[in-house]
Structures are given as structure tokens and as C-alpha cells.
Chain A
Amino acid sequence: MDIQRLFIANRGEIAVRIIRAAQAMGITTIQAYSEGDSEMLAVRLADEAVCIGPASAKDSYLNIDKVVAAARESGADAVHPGYGFLSESPTFARALEAAGVRYIGPSANTIERMGDKVAARQAAEAAGVPVVPGSDGRVDSVDDAAMIAAKVGYPVMIKAAAGGGGRGIRIAADEAELRKLAPQAQQEAAAAFGDGGLYLEHAVQSPRHIEVQIVGDGKSAVHFFERECSLQRRRQKVWEEAGAECLDEPTRDALCASAVALAEAVDYVGAGTLEYLYDPEKNAFYFIEMNTRIQVEHPVSEMITGVDLVQEMIRVCGGEPLSVTQEQIRRNGHAIEVRINAEDPLMQFMPFPGKVGALRIPEGDGTRFDHFLYEGYQIPPFYDSLLGKLIVHGKDRADAIGKLSKALKGLDIGGLKTTVPLHIALAEDKDVQADAFHTQWLEPWLEAGNLTAAATGGAS
């Protein structure tokens, strides 16, 4: 492999994870850090470290010129972008290419194409991957809208064809409602965007978020099965599982095969995730988007397959073929990851950037804690609140939840408020234990005071 010196353009727990993976492969690691991160664990673990600018991410981790210059000056032959920051920036990937430094990820063109929702949807359709049924283009009349809605199936979401975001989205349960709402949506779209064109899409009720991990080497791609990530707060995942218990075997096979088909159709190189909405009522899945990077929740897939995904992505981006065939990738048991954030879940998740006191980390068979903590470390306030991820592996889902409860009670991060109490309450919740939830489940659960009740022993 051509990679001898790897530059890590990220921070926190993922920087630590990448350093450990690379060092185990005999690669020299060079850690980038901001002035606010000079004391972080990754700086201490890396073979070399380079300061790339002030604490503010826009002046350091997000500054393409500074990161590329630092990578080149350090003599790195490759850059790992981690997740977040510049991990899905085609401009960054192009700048590295121009500087003659390899990028641990797909090509800039692939990042750009899969990062564009319309282009990604077209690529998916071309590869035979199901997408949420919708109007193929803009809809200009209410009669056309009614005809298309009957085809895609009620309830339907009515959106403005122009513009973006959630503005003006309406949901119609039947044709009568559609005929009432569509003219309103047209007027609003015309007023807001100067274009009254609409777009219709089938509204999936109580969907689950299911995603498939893939790795490609440019010639072929393999999948590492699916993850279930429906427990979300403010569109952020808080708890992730591998696999998705709600899927039957034929559906799982079809889902994972569709992800491989799309990855191969775009000659994918590196690790990637295809995200889907799953409609449990219809046993149907729909591609929504692709993330062209390693994800926070990759460890659950590693736990059930035994493959180190960070090492695998470094290898394929270093020009090697995939080290495993699809037949060699087997699922074993069930894994759960929970995100441990420096936030107080009993105080509206207020951030808590404190100083780490005594640290007690659970150990044991099938228990893993990916983190960047050490005793006496002052958590900087400038970045996101993720401290680490507690991951457990059990022989089945019930076993994994049992192990998770035990591991959570054995995790003690002194000096900080963390989301541990949230996860203890979730692990003991009947719906969570029964796998009866969807993407809209957690926020109402919190609003109903379930966490407070659990944390105070039922007295609230």
C-alpha cells in the first residue's frame, strides 16, 4: 500500500479511532489540531501533531487552505477527514488531489454527485434502488396533483418545487384534503419563490431510519449489513443498533443488495452509508441519501462482522482491493451503540463542557468505549458535545440491551453531566425493549416526562 504517513484532519473520538487503526497498520500518524485542542488525547497519541489555527472551526478544521497546506508541509501522503468538518467537501477533496495528497474517501466527483439530493435520487433510480414514490418533476395544476397522488399513494407530502428546507410542506390524507391544500401551497410557493410549481411525495408514516454500511474499492463493493438508527433527537441519532430486528431476512437481503448495486454503479471507493426510510406497515424501504464518509455509528457494524472498517477504508483508498469478499462477511449477534454527550439530559440537554474528574470505564467481553477522555482533561466548548460512544455486543438484542444497562452503570465520568441517564432510562423502557419505535418516537417520549420519571424513580 502507498500510504506511509497519514494526516488526520479531525478531532475528538474519531481522531483517536483513526490513529489507533493506522498505527496498528504500521502507518505514521500526523494529527491536526486547533489552538483550542492542544491538550486533546489524539495529539498525545499521534506520532506527530501540527497546529492548524485558532479554536474556531472555521479558522482551523474547516479551513481548506490551512488543512491542505499543513498536510503537504508535514509530508503526509494521505488525509483522513473523519466525519463532519471537511469530510463531505468536494472542494477539499479536489484541493488535496491538486496538492498530490491522497484522500481517504471517494473521488470529489462522487462526493459532489451523492451529496446532491436530486442527483443521488437519479443515481439510485438508475441502479434500481427504490426511492420515495413522488412526482418525477414539477406539478402545475391541482388536477395533475390529484392524479399523481392517487398513483404514489396517500398520505402525500406537498412541497414547493423551487426553494428548499421544510418551508410550506403540507400533508394531505386524501383527495379532498389535497384539493384544499394544493392551491394554498401553490400560492405560498409563488409568493415565496416566484414559482408556484409543486412537488408531491408519498409521506411515510412513522418511518424507521435504516442504513446500510458499504465499502468499495472502485471495482466492486461489499456491504456490512444494516443499522437501525431511529432513536433521534433534533435529527441527531442518539442510539444505534446493528442489525435492524424489524427486518425479515428477504427484506434485509434486498436492502443490502440495493446498497451494493448503487455503490458499484458509482464506482465507489472508501466507506459509505446509504440511508433509507423503512415503512414497517408496507415492509418497504426507500433510499433517501448517501453519506460519503465513515459515520459515528460505524462500530456497531464492526462488532457484528468483526471487520475494522477504518482500516479497510484506508486500505482501499491506498489502492488495495477489498480484503474481504461478501461471502466472508457474516453477521454475528447484535450490537448497540449509545452516544455519550457532555449535556445534561435533565436540563433540556444543556451543554456541559467541564473538566473530567475520576474516570471509570466498563470493561468486559463485548463492551467497547470509543472516546477521547482522560482524567484532568478540560472539554473545550468550541466543538460538538460528543465525548464518546459506548458499544456493546450480545448474542441477541435482549442480551445486548442487558449488557448495555450493565455497562452504562459501570461508566462514570466524574466532573461532567452526560447523557448516560438518558440511555439508562431508554434501556429500561418497554417500547425500546420491544423494538417498538420509529424516528418520531423519542422527542414525544422526552416531552411526556419519561426521563424525569425514570431518573427520579417514578416520583415526579
Chain B
Amino acid sequence: MAEIQSPLPGTFYHQASPGEPPFKAKGDAVAVGDTIGLIEVMKTFIEIKAEAAGTFADYKIEDAAPVSAGQVLAELDG
């Protein structure tokens, strides 16, 4: 089980913009460098990328919720 952590405090989003599907859903294959979400920090959007490959388990933070640096955003299996 690999964890994807937030590098910055901010607001976490599951999708690129409202109404679009989430970047990843349970069971999706994840490659190194795949975008799994966005962190909005001070009006700037930063893409959160997977640093390991695996299968997407789930988001650990709700969409549009505030996060602090180091908080686990999502988990990967295998």
C-alpha cells in the first residue's frame, strides 16, 4: 500500500474542474507521474502526481476539503 501525501497545505480537489470526472477511480491503474488530484494553494493549482505505480485504492480526503502538508490524499494498492 503506497500513500500519496500532500506536499503543501491547501484545498484538495479530485477533478480538474467542477463537473468533470475524478482523475482516478477505485481499481484504475496508476503509473508514475499520473495526476491524481489538484491542490489549490493561494489561488494557484498544483497537480499532485503519483510517485509510485499501482492500482488506485481510494481518496483519503474528500473533494474540496482543506488539507495540511504531509496529509495522506490517496492510497494505492501494490
Chain A residues with a Cβ under 8 A of chain B: 36, 55-56, 342-343, 350-351, 353, 380-385
Contacts and interface: CB of A to CB of B under 8 A. Distances in A.
B44 A382 contact: no
A382 B10 contact: yes
A350 B41 CA distance: 9
B8 A382 contact: no
Contacts of A381: 8-11, 40-42, 66
The DSSP consensus for interface residues of chain B is strand
11 contacts: A342-B42, A350-B46, A351-B41, A353-B10, A381-B8, A381-B10, A381-B40, A382-B11, A383-B42, A384-B42, A385-B44
Contacts of A350: 44, 46
A458 B66 CA distance: 41
B12 to A, nearest CB: 11
B48 to A, nearest CB: 14
Nearest to A54: B66
Contacts of A56: 11, 64, 66
Given A353-B9, A353-B42, A385-B43, 8 more contacts: A36-B66, A56-B11, A342-B42, A351-B8, A351-B44, A381-B10, A383-B42, A384-B42
Interface of B: 8-11, 40-44, 46, 64, 66
B41 A384 contact: no
A350 B46 CA distance: 9
A19 to B, nearest CB: 23
A382 to B, nearest CB: 7
Contacts of A385: 42-44
B39 to A, nearest CB: 8
A278 B4 CA distance: 50
A351 B10 CA distance: 10
Contacts of B64: 56
A343 B46 CA distance: 14
Given A384-B42, A385-B42, A55 B8 contact: no
Contacts of B42: 342-343, 351, 353, 381-385
Contacts of A55: 66
Nearest to A341: B42
A196 B43 CA distance: 36
A36 B66 CA distance: 10
B37 to A, nearest CB: 15
A353 B8 CA distance: 8
A380 B42 CA distance: 8
Contacts of B11: 56, 381-382
Contacts of B41: 351, 353, 381
